[in-house]
Amino acid sequence: MPLVGDIAARLDAVRRRLDAAAHRASRNPSDITLVAISKTFGPEMIRAAAAAGQLSFGENRVQEALAKQEALADLPLDWHLVGHLQSNKARKAAAAFSLIHSVDRQELVARLDAAAAAAGTRPRILLQVDLAGEATKAGVSEADLPRLVDAALDAAHLELAGLMIIPPIPDTPEDSRVWFRRLRDVRDRLVDQGVPASSLRELSMGMSGDFEVAVEEGATIVRVGSAIFGARPPLHG
């Protein structure tokens, strides 16, 4: 794990790589949101990243995120939930995150909608899609995605913002390109079929090992953890 003092340099390197990928694709880097995945790292690491200008952070577990939000309440941070969300955590998630990346079933849409109504919030959500049919990963299938889109659009207290994917673990960054391109194509077909483009603007795809390829294929959000924070500390308990 890098020292706190290394975070600024690592962030700068990631931003330079992101900018270069955007320029290769004739895109404006400002159209791409870098989310620093801070799961398992303590508040001091997040604070160091914030001091270097990083304000969007992603967490996998609701309880871990809530503890960090309390510890860092003096900072204007934007919190994303990127991990699988159990239905029984919907109430807390709807109140704590501006963007939930991992919505993958209609039951969860309904739970989040009710929770947001109770909390007086309106979180943005992304629908997690599993294009590879991996049994070990969450995500709605391409065949079931239109029904989930309809449910999300009907939710009164949620804002559908786009799609998310976690592709099969790649041997090389190029291995992920086909999945990123497919997700973009799926989004484009939904828009052609009448889904408002504003509801599918975001494509959350790409992590430390392949975010440059994701940017080249149209990602508007990249989720980068180890390239910023280093190897994750072991989990305890």
In a domain, 106, yes or no: yes
CA dihedral sign, ordered 40, 33, 204, 226: negative
Amino acid at 56: S
Amino acid at 213: V
Model confidence at 229: pLDDT above 90: yes
Separation between Cα atoms, residue 220 and residue 201, nearest integer Å: 8
Model confidence at 138: pLDDT above 90: no
pLDDT band at 119 (very low <50, low <70, confident <90, very high): very high
In a domain, 24, yes or no: yes
In this predicted structure, what is the pLDDT of residue 234?
Answer: 61
Domain that holds residue 183: 4-229
- Structural contact between residues 111 and 66, judged by C-beta atoms closer than 8 angstroms: no
In a domain, 111, yes or no: yes
In a domain, 235, yes or no: no
At 139-165, the pLDDT tens digits run 999 999 999 999 999 999 999 999 999
In a domain, 236, yes or no: no
At 172-224, the pLDDT tens digits run 999 999 999 999 999 999 999 999 999 999 999 999 999 999 999 999 999 99
How would DSSP label each residue in the chain?
---GGGHHHHHHHHHHHHHHHHHHTT--GGGSEEEEE-TT--HHHHHHHHHTT--EEEES-HHHHHHHHHHTTTS--EEEE-S---GGGHHHHHHH-SEEEEE-SHHHHHHHHHHHHHHT---EEEEEB-SS--TTS--B-TTTHHHHHHHHHH-TT-EEEEEE--PPPPSSGGGGHHHHHHHHHHHHHHHHTT--GGGG-EEE---TTTHHHHHHTT-SEEEE-HHHH-SPPPP--
Burial of 37 (0-12, 13-18, 19+ CB in 10 A): buried
Q: Total domain count for the chain?
A: 1
**Max CA separation in the chain (angstroms):** 49
Cβ neighbours of residue 32 closer than 8 Å, sequence gap 6 or more: 18, 22, 215, 219, 220, 221, 222
In this predicted structure, what is the pLDDT of residue 232?
Answer: 75
At 10-66, the pLDDT tens digits run 999 999 999 999 999 999 999 999 999 999 999 999 999 999 999 999 999 999 999
Predicted structure pTM score: 0.94
In this predicted structure, what is the pLDDT of residue 237?
Answer: 38
In a domain, 237, yes or no: no
Looking at residues 107-125, what average pLDDT do you find? 97
In a domain, 224, yes or no: yes
Burial of 114 (0-12, 13-18, 19+ CB in 10 A): middle
In a domain, 128, yes or no: yes
In this predicted structure, what is the pLDDT of residue 236?
Answer: 45
Can you give the CATH number for the domain in which 86 is found? Answer: 3.20.20.10
